[in-house]
Amino acid sequence: MDKKEHTILVFGRIASTLSVLMYVSYIPQIMNNLAGNKGNPIQPMVAMINCIFWVIYASMQKKKDVPIIIANVPGVILGAITFVTAII
């Protein structure tokens, strides 16, 4: 692996980690929603839809783009939970 490929790999891993952390940050909002302090459901719904499209896109590639899938699956799950807990 040359230096450029290594750099791309490192950036991909960092970006995937940051994406997962971004969606994990929904957990406090989920807790607030469940405690009766409802948040706005629009942002997590849009994030969830965005992540669904990224997962589908990455899955449809000739060579599946696993970092994109890993980075977006938590967004699908936690976005959905945040959305549902904000509306019920």
Q: Which pLDDT score is estimated for 5?
A: 93
First-to-last alpha carbon distance for the chain, in angstroms, is 50
User: What would the mean pLDDT of 3-12 be, rounded to a whole number?
Assistant: 93
Average pLDDT, the chain: 95
Residues found in the chain:
88
Q: Which pLDDT score is estimated for 1?
A: 84
CATH number of the domain that residue 66 is part of: 1.20.1280
Give, as one character, the DSSP assignment of residue 38.
P
Number of domains the chain is built from: 1
Backbone angles phi, psi at 36, to 5 degrees: 100, 0
**Domain around 65:** 3-87
HSE (side-chain half, CA atoms, 13 Å) at 86: 18
Q: Which residue's entry shows tokens 């976005």?
A: 79
Per-residue pLDDT tens for 13-53?
999 999 999 999 999 999 999 999 999 999 999 999 999 99
